[in-house]
Amino acid sequence: MATSIRYQLLLLSLGISILISIPRSWSSTAPILLEDGSKVILEGSVSNQSPSRYFFSFNVSNIINNISSIRITTTSFDADSQYPVQVLVRQYRHVSSWQLPLMIQKQATHTVSKTLCPFDQRKFNQFVVEFFTYSSNISNYELVVEMIGDFYLSFLSENFLATPSAPVVFGYRIPNEDQNVMLKFSSKTTTCAVVSIQKAECPYFDEISNIRYSGRYQTMLTSSGLTLKPSDFGPRVVVIMAVYPNNNECIDNPPAIPSTSPPGSKILFEEISKNITVTMEYLIPAKSYWIPILAIIGIFTVVYALTLPMIYYWKQLYKNAVVIVQLQELNRASKAVSQQNNNKDVFDSPIIYVSDLSKKVDEKNVARRYFWYLIIIGIFYAVPVFQLVMTYQRFVAQPGNDGLCYYNFLCSYRLGIFMAFNNFISNIGYVLLGILLIIVTLAKKAIFNRATKRCNDYGMTYYKEYGVPQRFGVFIAIGVSLIMEGILSACYHICPNKTNFQFDTSYMYITAILIMVQIHNVRHPDLIVSEHMIFLCFAVIICLAVIGVLFKSFTLWVVFTVIYIVTISFISVLVYYYGQWRKFSWKGFFSFTRKGCFSSVRSRDLLAFLLLVNALNWGLALFGLIREPDNFGSFFLAIFMSNLMMYLAYYIAEKIYHKEKILWLSILLSIIATVLWVFSIYFFRQNVAKRQATPARSRELNRECAFLDFYDYHDIWHMLSAGALFVSFLLLLSLDDDLVTIRRDEIIVF
């Protein structure tokens, strides 16, 4: 019995609370007719005892045809943030609501403006606006209702003003279902905003708190670009521009913004506004992509046509070399070669010749294994990379956040699942020229082998006695590395971001090391580095690159600097003593210094070069330790490229110093390579995105297409750098062609 009584009392108290909470009477008006261009301003008050309700009617045909839209602006300076005024708008199949004051990222505004959704209204030509609150105090408000024409805009350029509480909403019809359109957003102010494209349906999301729930969106400071594809959104879209009350969403560490409102002010923050210019631009239709694609393939076809005559050049070179070698052998004195120095350590001689370092068993199989190791590693490396970036791409291809991948959105052409197909296909030059390098290398190898066979037929061991040792396997491996660089760079550009940059640079490190190995092995054939050691170095380098990208701290830079300096010092000693580590001792080093470190030609030139190399690398190490560059991958790559350039310059300078000829082909190739590198570096420095910055900051660097209205500056870098690398490799392949008729016991080691 007691339980029943308690239950009845509970129901009674609940009913009383419900009755108290329900407004007792509504203040209503007769329907107000809205006409095109009309503006209705109403003022009223509201409390928990007297809510307000307004009925509006309009010409439904204008809304159905999306000719007009309705915009509602509500203001209340008396509203209490603890018991705010609730605004409710009821439409056919859609209800929207907000409160006054409206809290936006913990900041309040007392004015809110909304554009009502004009879709799916059919024959219902009315909507209702209601004001109610749970506060017992009376709150005054102002209601402004406007009928705005031309909801769907057909424009080339238009200016809009957006605020945190008054987002801009308009519709756009894509004129052709097969035509992609670019909407470009620009502003002179750096106020953080978000732009969004959503399907033309109700509800759409126009608040910064929910704008991420539908469509595709981008944060922006001064620039942004969104591509409209009819297959994603249909023939009609809604474009929304909303402004943040601060820059937290666009800047990593925004400065603190002090309150601009005096104490006790009812406006809790100064209203921020942003003027945004929207420009529409038609893009190349997908069916026309073949034109710029065939254009770059045609350019590289011309490179093929200009390169293949080199095969004829080498054929004539070795044909003449065989005749010259035969005459030299006939004219040579028949006396026996003196054996008096056979037991002397060649490393103690002031001058060392290539013949002194080419007495071991031929190591050409080592160079050949470089090729196979690179193929195997490339497959195991590329497959998971492709899988990862395709997973990224599937997320990005769906409408949503455009901040995951750092594209140049002002020059981004989509094809299938590739959001920036132009950035992807522009890497084809690395692949085509890598294949061409392999073809040219195999052709020269065949010519060399035929010349060797002819000399053998005359009883001469040309392969072991003339010219520098040929390591064609290393050049084939370099060609494979260039192909893999193109493949991995293309994979990286499927979804470029700060976490996968090492995909784009891994084979750059490998290529740089292979070139330095090749330059060293030309005059040090017996000191060829084991392929196991080379690929172990590759693994360590890639691990360091990944660690440097993922973990950034001063401790890491200290550890890296120590490893860097110790490694450079160790390599310098090995190079100076020709890999004979056992010959190094501190006692011998100081004795050597006292006697005069510049007494011999070998010591003077090599020591000067190593001192310069150490100065460069110590400087780079200290720079990294002091400045801690954000882009560790680029800094790491700069280390390899600077050392490679110094080594190549040293090799060419020594050739000139020792009066070795530089043939016209090598001179021509060096000029072409220099020109290509200058232009490549220029376009590389024209940044169109920045992975280390926020997406909004990165988009400030976005630029329009620069070549064939399809490729941007970074795409041009891909093409020019592929050509520069290829010509540089040809230069290395032909640099010692002047020595094909010179005996190895006359070729100096440096």
Domain ranges of the chain: 22-150, 152-283, 309-329+354-545+663-746
CA 396 to CA 405: how far, in whole Å?
8
Task: For residues 627-650, give the mean pLDDT.
Answer: 84
- The DSSP code for 212 is G
Least confident residue range of 317-321, 345-349, 738-742: 345-349
**SS3 letters across 106-170:** CEEECEEEEECCCCCCCCCCEEEEEEECCCCCCEEEEEEEEEEECCECCCCEEEEEEECCECEEE
Q: pLDDT of 402-450, one tens digit each?
A: 778 888 988 988 887 788 899 999 999 999 999 999 999 999 999 988 8
Q: How high is the pLDDT of residue 260?
A: 40
Structure tokens at 433: 């020229």
Is pLDDT above 50 for 334?
no
Structure tokens at 78: 């008396």
- Of the two residues 679 and 173, the one the predictor is more confident about is 679
Q: pLDDT of 27-64, one tens digit each?
A: 556 677 777 667 888 888 888 888 888 888 776 665 55
The closest alpha carbon to 130, from 31, 28, 225, 42, belongs to 28
List of residues 6+ apart from 625 with CB closer than 8 A: 557, 558, 561
Question: How does residue 262 score in pLDDT terms, banded at 50, 70 and 90?
Answer: very low
Q: How high is the pLDDT of residue 51?
A: 85
DSSP characters over 22-39? S-S--EE-PPEEE-TT-E
749 touches 353 (CB < 8 A): yes
List of residues 6+ apart from 45 with CB closer than 8 A: 52, 138, 139, 140, 141
Is pLDDT above 50 for 210?
yes
Q: Residue 341's Cα: distance from chain center in Å?
A: 59
Question: How does residue 266 score in pLDDT terms, banded at 50, 70 and 90?
Answer: very low
Q: Longest C-alpha distance within the chain, in Å?
A: 134
Is pLDDT above 90 for 382?
no
Topology of the domain covering 152-283? Jelly Rolls (2.60.120)
Task: For residues 336-352, give the mean pLDDT.
Answer: 53
Q: How high is the pLDDT of residue 17?
A: 39
User: How many Cα atoms are found within 13 Å in the side-chain-facing hemisphere of 436?
Assistant: 25
Q: What are the backbone dihedrals phi and psi of residue 709, each rounded to the nearest 5 degrees, phi first?
A: 55, 30
- Of the two residues 528 and 186, the one the predictor is more confident about is 186
Least confident residue range of 13-22, 485-494, 504-513, 619-628: 13-22
Question: How does residue 97 score in pLDDT terms, banded at 50, 70 and 90?
Answer: confident
272 burial via Cβ count (<10 Å: 0-12, 13-18, 19+):
buried
Task: For residues 705-714, give the mean pLDDT.
Answer: 91
Task: For residues 92-118, give the mean pLDDT.
Answer: 83
Least confident residue range of 215-219, 463-467, 468-472, 475-479: 463-467
Q: How high is the pLDDT of residue 20?
A: 39
CA 711 to CA 303: how far, in whole Å?
20
Q: pLDDT of 356-372, one tens digit each?
A: 666 664 555 566 777 78
Sequence letter at residue 326: Q
Q: How high is the pLDDT of residue 482?
A: 92
Q: pLDDT of 269-316, one tens digit each?
A: 556 888 999 988 888 888 888 999 999 999 999 999 999 889 999 988
Relative to beta strand 27-28, strand 52-58 is parallel
Q: What are the backbone dihedrals phi and psi of residue 42, each rounded to the nearest 5 degrees, phi first?
A: -125, 140
CA 261 to CA 427: how far, in whole Å?
54
- Of the two residues 256 and 749, the one the predictor is more confident about is 749
Task: For residues 366-384, give the mean pLDDT.
Answer: 79
pLDDT above 90 as % of the chain: 14
| Residue 3 CB coordination number (10 Å) | 7
Task: For residues 544-570, give the mean pLDDT.
Answer: 83
Relative to beta strand 52-58, strand 32-34 is parallel
> What integer best gives the mean pLDDT of the chain?
79
The closest alpha carbon to 496, from 668, 702, 734, 205, belongs to 702
Helix 531-550 / helix 502-523 crossing angle, nearest 10 deg = 150
SS3 of residue 236 by DSSP: strand
Is pLDDT above 60 for 547?
yes
The yes/no answer on whether domain 22-150 falls in CATH 3.40.50.720 is: no
Q: How high is the pLDDT of residue 418?
A: 84
Task: For residues 136-151, give the mean pLDDT.
Answer: 84
CA 427 to CA 493: how far, in whole Å?
9
Q: How high is the pLDDT of residue 303?
A: 93
Structure tokens at 447: 């010519």
Structure tokens at 115: 């554009």
Task: For residues 532-540, give the mean pLDDT.
Answer: 79
